[in-house]
Amino acid sequence: METTVNLTVTACFKRAKGGLAPWQVRRLGSYIDENLHSELSIGELASIARLSRSHFSRAFRDSFGKPPHQYIIRRRLHRAKGLLLSTGEPIVKIAAECGLADQAHLTKLFRKIVGESPAHWRRMRMDPVNWAR
């Protein structure tokens, strides 16, 4: 029985090994969310974490579960979803506020990850009374 417990603890340790420190995760998460509207480079993020670019990319993936670029895209789409539901702003403006090149870029990513266009997604979730405003 002790062997099983030790293996489990060892397995957990190996999964966490090589990831970012908690302060790095907090700092990077906050920085990314605060700067989604702008271009975020691996070099910039690596310097915030005080790591080399190659070490940073591996550690980021271990800690966040996705490579930096994929994580940032997901955060941008999460922000876009919030803006789609909470504002009546045109999709082109929402795309710009989320740091995406244009409406077509947002639509392509949104359709790929969410499975439908941002306009359709918004229409299906909006209250008809609020939609007229």
What is the reported pTM? 0.80
pLDDT for 117: 96
User: Which DSSP string do the residues of 52-115 spell out, in sequence order?
Assistant: -HHHHHHHHHHHHSS-HHHHHHHHHHHHHHHHHHH----HHHHHHHTT-SSHHHHHHHHHHHHS
Domains of the chain, by residue range, sit at 17-125
Domain 17-125 CATH class label: mainly alpha
Residue for token digits 């895209």? 73
Tens digits of per-residue pLDDT, 34-76? Answer: 999 999 999 999 999 999 999 999 999 999 999 999 999 999 9
* Residues 49, 51, 53: CA angle, nearest 5 degrees: 110
